[in-house]
């Protein structure tokens, strides 16, 4: 029992010596240690992450609609093993942010390729058709809007 008491006092003296050496930085160190204290994981940690749909806020709303539809279709294609088509779709969407007409034409080319895909699962084929129709409609709307503008 005496050894435990002596060990405890020696440990406290060592901690006190370290605190004296640290000086005025002790308060900041204690605050940092409190923030590092482990928190309980929230329930969202255990749920699968939803794919993000990032759209620049400076773009035309119809362009944003095209990019969101392309993102949905690209994520679905990637999840179902069509990496190459998803990559082409992302490339076309990236082109839209810098050169919108070229990106729209590239998007139409990718849509033609998506239309030629055939899947064994009927539900998956219907979902692919719905997503590609959503993107096609958004691309057509943007094309119609751009045709109203004079070409330079």
- For the record, the structure tokens of 27 come out as 């308060």
pLDDT value of residue 149: 47
Judged by DSSP in three states, 61 sits in: helix
How confident is the model over 104-111, as a mean pLDDT?
90
pLDDT value of residue 146: 79
CB within 8 Å of 63: residues ≥ 6 apart:
96, 100, 142
Q: What is the pLDDT of residues 62-96, one digit of tens each?
A: 889 999 999 999 999 998 888 999 999 999 999 98
Tell me what percent of the chain is helix, strand and coil, each rounded to the nearest 5: 75, 0, 25
Q: What is the pLDDT of residues 75-84, one digit of tens each?
A: 999 988 889 9
User: Which among 56, 144, 152 has a CA at the least distance from the CA of 104?
Assistant: 144
Q: At what angle do helices 61-79 and 122-147 cross, to 10 degrees?
A: 160
Pair 142, 63: CB distance under 8 Å:
yes
Pair 117, 128: CB distance under 8 Å:
yes
CB within 8 Å of 98: residues ≥ 6 apart:
none
Question: Is residue 151 over pLDDT 50?
Answer: no
pLDDT value of residue 58: 73
Question: Is residue 5 over pLDDT 60?
Answer: yes
How confident is the model over 96-112, as a mean pLDDT?
88
How confident is the model over 54-63, as a mean pLDDT?
72
CB within 8 Å of 118: residues ≥ 6 apart:
125
Pair 51, 75: CB distance under 8 Å:
yes
Question: Is residue 13 over pLDDT 60?
Answer: yes
Lowest mean pLDDT among 32-46, 99-113, 125-139: 32-46
């Amino acid at each position: 029992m005496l050894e435990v008491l002596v060990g405890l006092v020696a440990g406290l003296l060592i901690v006190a010596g370290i605190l004296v050496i640290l000086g005025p930085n002790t308060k900041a160190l204690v605050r940092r240690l409190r923030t590092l204290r482990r928190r309980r994981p929230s329930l969202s940690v255990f749920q699968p992450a939803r794919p993000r749909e990032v759209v620049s806020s400076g773009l035309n709303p119809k362009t944003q609609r095209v990019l969101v539809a392309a993102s949905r279709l690209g994520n679905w294609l990637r999840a179902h093993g069509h990496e190459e088509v998803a990559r082409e779709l992302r490339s076309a969407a990236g082109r839209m942010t810098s050169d919108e007409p070229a990106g729209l034409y590239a998007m139409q080319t990718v849509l033609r390729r998506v239309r030629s895909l055939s899947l064994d699962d009927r539900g998956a084929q219907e979902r692919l058709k719905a997503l590609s129709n959503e993107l096609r409609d958004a691309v057509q709307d943007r094309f119609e809007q751009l045709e109203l503008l004079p070409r330079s």
